[in-house]
Structure 1
């Protein structure tokens, strides 16, 4: 009986030893866990177009209207040109224009510039001159802008010399006086290129004494200035 038990124990020990050495020599590979995350559904991009927007072109003036049908893009390709252009909007232009208008008004107001909008169209009577002089000398000039103003002078209906052109320096003409009343007229024979006729004139007697100094400003063509000269 003892021998039988000893045999069983030896057999058990041998099986256990053999199993450990067998399993010890086998290498096990770990199995990766299953991917149980839900698979996203494949979606197709929609065919909706992007908003119809076009960025402003920095090389154009602000008042250019962008076409509504353009898609978003920056500028446009242009062909190369050697021609010099200036398409930038200058904010100082408006100020410059206003200053120029204000200056023009001031010059016109002070009689330093002519203006067709303010033309004098009515003849003027300069009044009466009494003298003992045998003749008068009239000196004349354009006191504003030399632009081709012409004048015509008459004494008692007779033309004195030729048609006179006004310059910045004085020109002159001389006419005799008869006893009693004499009618002396000076006419704006033309307008200049920049506006009405502008004339300054001075009347001297036969002794060189200044008798009268007058001027007219911005007269229309054909307007006359009249003096009645009484020779005593």
Structure 2
């Protein structure tokens, strides 16, 4: 019985000694201290210590760096002075988009004759546009009595067509299908020969149903 007690006591003492040794080793672990020091080359020359700069500097040392915009493209500022054909900053003139049509005069209620042209061209090009307030004016176009355009919308830009002239007399008519939302049916007309020269420039102001006519004589 005494022998067993001595054996147990011996084991307890050994276990305590082992635990104490492990505790001492854990407290004496090796630690490396980061220091900036000059480095000596094999030939005895000293190189100065290199100090690495911080990649990102904080604007305020008491606050964390804000990386919310990192990797995002810078947005371009909107240039409100850019000329876009709707507003001219250098003049007080309003663009045509905001200019009212002429008041409906008595002569607008009659057909209008735009003149007679003579040319040796094989063909002519007819160009037209709304030269006043762009308000939805539409026309029907006839060449020598035949409908070539049943319904044409008059926009701010020129549109048109080219046709072959028959020998002698050629008649081109523009019939107002409506008057848009403001004033009469208004348009600017230009006619070009086969060399691209302007041979006629005119305008019409019509009420609904009325026609503007030009005659072209091929010589």
Q: TM-score, normalised by structure 1?
A: 0.49
Q: CA deviation at 1:158?
A: 0.8
- Partner of 2:147 in structure 1? 159
Equivalences for 1:142-221 in 2 at 5 Å? 142-217=130-205, 219-221=206-208
Contact kept in structure 1, 2:112 and 2:204, CA below 8 Å: no
Equivalences for 1:121-136 in 2 at 5 Å? 121-136=109-124
- Partner of 1:61 in structure 2? none
Q: CA deviation at 1:159?
A: 1.2
CA 179–117 in structure 1, closer or farther in 2 if over 3 Å, else same: closer
Contact kept in structure 2, 1:131 and 1:231, CA below 8 Å: yes
Contact kept in structure 2, 1:152 and 1:162, CA below 8 Å: yes
CA 117–137 in structure 1, closer or farther in 2 if over 3 Å, else same: closer
Task: Give the distance between the partners of 2:103 and 2:198, measured in 1 at CA.
Answer: 32
Equivalenced residue count is 121
Contact kept in structure 2, 1:161 and 1:173, CA below 8 Å: no
Q: TM-score, normalised by structure 2?
A: 0.52
Which has the larger share of strand? Answer: 2
- Deviation per CA, 1:122-165: give whole Å up to 9, x if none: 11112211111111111111111111100111111011234110
Unaligned runs of 5+ in 1: 1-106
Which has the larger share of helix? Answer: 1
Q: Please say which structure displays the higher CA radius of gyration.
A: 1
**1:161 aligned counterpart, secondary structure:** strand
- Structure 1 stretches of 4+ with a deviation exceeding 2 A read 112-119
Task: Give the distance between the partners of 2:149 and 2:212, measured in 1 at CA.
Answer: 17
- Partner of 1:141 in structure 2? 129
Task: Give the distance between the partners of 1:193 and 1:202, measured in 2 at CA.
Answer: 24
